[in-house]
Amino acid sequence: GVSGLGSHSCRCLLDFPMRLSLALLISHGRVARRMGLGPRSRLDMMRNLVTALVRHERIQTTRARADEMRFYAEQLINYGKKGDTDEKAMKMADFWLTEKDLIHKLFKLLAPRFASHQGGYTNMYQIPNRENLDRAKMAVIEYKGNPYPPLIVPKKDSEKTLLNQLLKGYREERERLRSAQVPERLPRSEEH
Amino acid sequence: TLFRSIELTGTEGRSTAVSPVMAVRRLLQLVRCWALNAEQLLFPPPAPVLAVQAPVGAPWVGGEMIDPYDTSNFLNNIFWMAAPKSRRTIEVNRCRRRNPNKLVKIKTNIDVCSMCGHLKQKHVLCGFCYEKVLKETVKIKEQIRLKEGGHFNVATVETAVLYDGEKPTERDEGKRIIERNRKRPSWFALN
């Protein structure tokens, strides 16, 4: 239907499902985000964010940037695990960390911290929208094992809640009744 | 007109059989006709002709075609613009304005935070609790900055935060200690 634009080659439509000129305007199924002024700008932005994360171990940004940065942060740890004698690892750390004292931190602190982990070095949570006029979606991203207070406190069940007190009372009463019934049964079994 | 002229000259009371002489004569007539009429065919150059009955005045005015996007002739060419035919009644307007796709959607993902009781969305952290943690984090970062005392002095060992009256345990050995002079908050447990 759309080939009215004139596909000049004689190839079948089925060979290239989306190679018509409209493909430049329609972005169905494309998952790569476009950030900043271009691909190089996006990489520079990611580099800044990764540097900040390695320095502070917990940062808050927009959701898209945090999501995009997560992959780079975890890959950097993977490279850090190779050790600082590895040429490639050192080059990667040199490129991705703009503040050079953080290279020491990566190889001496973060890589040993995650030595036993297999992936999943970061946590990302969504936070309420920014208070500005733009109401941007925000997220907080952190390396696991950071020294700060936890963002999610797992709720421990307390024995002092009403429900737990009632259940405890019910359990105790059932035990008391059972121990009261047991002596009645014994004489009958002795008779038989 | 070209072909009619040839037909008239060719079939004036002659037999149906075509001899070679007749064919040649017809061909010569054709060529002569074409040569005579060549000028008429090519001048004026072929221009698009309206296939539809249209008023003579528009879009041709004075024998020349006018560019419909020429803004100086805008008023002459508003014949071709869409316009509503009749007034939309209030019933139709109501149907459009109150259609569910235009109304604000109800959110069913709002919950109450179990820690503080403020409202939160299910997939989002509680704003109040996050603010609390953020303020404490900022204070800890300030202490770290004071301890490092300058740029490019980042520590290469783990950090442990200790509050009022807390001593470093065997779990904290080998870590740099950051002290905060307040009581430990309930939501920042030791382990």
How far is it, in rounded angstroms, from Cα A161 to Cα B114? 14
Mean pLDDT, residues B113-128 taken together: 96
Paired tokens of A12: 């079948």
pLDDT in tens, A70-111: 999 999 999 999 999 999 999 999 999 999 999 999 999 999
Q: Contact B158/A151, CB-based, under 8 Å?
A: no
**Which pLDDT value is given to residue A2?**
47
Among the listed residues B130, B156, B126, B155, the one whose alpha carbon sits nearest the alpha carbon of residue B143: B155
pLDDT class for A24, splitting at 50, 70, 90? Answer: confident
| CB contacts, 8 Å: A158 with chain B | none
- Test B188 with A56 for CB contact under 8 angstroms: no
Q: How far is CA B72 from CA A56, A61, A171, A174, in A?
A: 64, 52, 94, 97
- Strand pairing of A58-62 and A138-143? antiparallel
Percent of chain A with pLDDT over 70: 84
The closest CB to that of A128, out of B127, B155, B161, belongs to B127
> Quick one: average pLDDT of B55-75?
63
Q: Which residue of A has its CA nearest to B123?
A: A126
A122: how many CB neighbours lie within 10 A of its CB?
20
Which stretches of chain B are DSSP H helices? 2-10, 20-42, 90-97, 127-148
Taking only residues 151 to 170 of chain B, the set having a beta carbon closer than 8 angstroms to any beta carbon of chain A reads 152-161
> For residue A40, what pLDDT is reported?
97
Using CB atoms, pick whichever of B127, B152, B155 lies closest to residue A99: B152
What is the per-residue pLDDT for A183? 75
Residues B145-163 have a mean pLDDT of 94
Q: Do residue A102 and residue B154 have CB atoms under 8 angstroms apart?
A: yes
The reply to whether residue B152 touches residue A58, judged by beta carbons under 8 angstroms, is no
* pLDDT value at residue B13: 47
8 Å CB contact of A128 and B124: yes
Predicted confidence band of residue B44 (pLDDT cuts 50, 70, 90): low
Quote the pLDDT of residue B45.
62
> DSSP letter at B122?
T
In this complex, the residue of B115, B134, B178 whose CB is nearest that of residue A153 is B115
B3 residue type, one letter: F
Mean pLDDT score across all residues of chain B:
82
pLDDT higher than 60, residue B2: no
Relative to beta strand B176-179, strand B159-162 is parallel
DSSP letter string over A126-149? EEPPPSSTT---EEEEEETT-SSP
Closest CA of chain B from A140, distance in Å: 10
Q: Most B CBs within 10 Å: which of A151, A157, A158, as the mutation test of the B interface?
A: A151
Partners of B120 on chain A (C-beta within 8 Å) are: 128
**Mutation target vs B (from A101, A114, A141; most B CBs, 10 A cutoff):** A101
Q: Does B178 touch chain A (CB under 8 A)?
A: yes
**Where residue B10 falls among pLDDT bands split at 50, 70, 90?**
very low
DSSP A20: S
Asked if pLDDT for residue A6 goes beyond 50, the answer is no
* Residue in chain B nearest A150 by alpha carbon: B188
> Chain A residue with minimal CA distance to B187?
A153
Mean pLDDT, residues A8-30: 67
What does pLDDT average to over chain A? 89
pTM of the model: 0.67
Evaluate if residue B6 carries a pLDDT over 70.
Answer: no
Q: What is the ipTM of this complex?
A: 0.74
User: Each residue of A130-164: pLDDT tens digit?
Assistant: 999 999 999 999 999 999 999 999 888 888 999 99
Give the gap in angstroms from C-alpha A147 to the nearest C-alpha of chain B: 6
Dig out the tokens for B131 from the structure: 């603010």
Determine the pLDDT at residue A158.
86
Q: Is B150's pLDDT higher than 50?
A: yes
Whether B54 has a pLDDT exceeding 70, the answer reads: no
Beta bridge partners of A122: A143
Q: Chain A within 8 Å of B124 (Cβ-Cβ)?
A: yes
Cβ pair A104:B154 closer than 8 A: yes
Beta carbons of B133 and A131 less than 8 angstroms apart: no
Nearest CA distance, B187 vs chain A (angstrom) = 7
DSSP string covering A82-113: T-TT-HHHHHHHHHH-SSTHHHHHIIIIIHHH
pLDDT value for B119: 97
| Closest chain B residue to the Cα of A131, Cα to Cα | B127
A63/B139 Cα distance (integer angstroms): 24
Chain B hits for A126, CB-CB cut-off 8 Å, are 123-125
- Show the tokens assigned to B14: 């002659």
Distance CA A115, CA A19 (A): 45
B40-57: average pLDDT: 60
Rounded to the nearest 10°, the torsion over CA A35, A37, A42, A46 is: -90
